Amino acid sequence: MALIKSIKGISPVFGSNCFLAENATILGDVVLGDNCSVWYNAVVRGDVHFIRIGNNVNIQDGAVIHCTYKKAPVNIGNNVSIAHNAIVHGCTIYDNVLIGMGAIIMDHVVVGSNSVIAAGAVVSKDTIIEPGSVYAGVPARKIKDVDQLLLEGEVSRIARSYTMYASWHDPSVKPIDEL
């Protein structure tokens, strides 16, 4: 079972049909919506500020979600994929977003809906990413607009697929297509 821990009397809250890997760590002021998954070695640490996560969000292996004390909480919308070893820190991510492997999203960043942050990108503090954008590089810069093929073929597909993958690891989790 995942390490789930209260901090200062505040415990994480989980929606329905969530998968928490055995060595995932979720603590403090964290609220996950329905159909979410927190994968192996991922950490969601709501000890210094709150973390709010919408529905159908997957936080993949080794990812870290954290905040800045009294200054920068984390808000994540619906249908968001946070890929392996990404760091999401004190920022806001709107709906239908893919955060690529190893990407770093810093404090007070706002990632607009229907966007992609490329693998390995570093999004500097206070950056505002307009909806429908692809950002890449160090520091991250806009490289193009998201087209329908990228939105449906990658962003939406990955978000949907992770409930199916979760059902392989925990039979009590139902894929979205079966709900």
Q: Where are the alpha helices (DSSP H) in the chain?
A: 148-150, 157-169
Count of C-beta atoms within a 10 Å radius of residue 167: 18
148 pLDDT above the threshold of 80? yes
Gap between the Cα atoms of 142 and 136, Å rounded: 7
What does DSSP assign to residue 95?
S
Q: Are strands 43-53 and 25-32 parallel, antiparallel or unpaired?
A: parallel
Domain range for 18 is: 3-178
What's residue 47's pLDDT? 98
What is the average pLDDT across 69-73? 97
- The residue type of 17 is N
Amino acid at 65: I
Angstrom distance (rounded) from CA 9 to CA 75: 21
CB count, 10 Å around CB of 3? 12
Tally of structural domains, the chain:
1
Rounded to two decimals, what is the model's pTM? 0.97
Give me the CATH number covering residue 108. Answer: 2.160.10.10
What is the band of 179 on the pLDDT scale with cuts at 50, 70, 90?
A: low
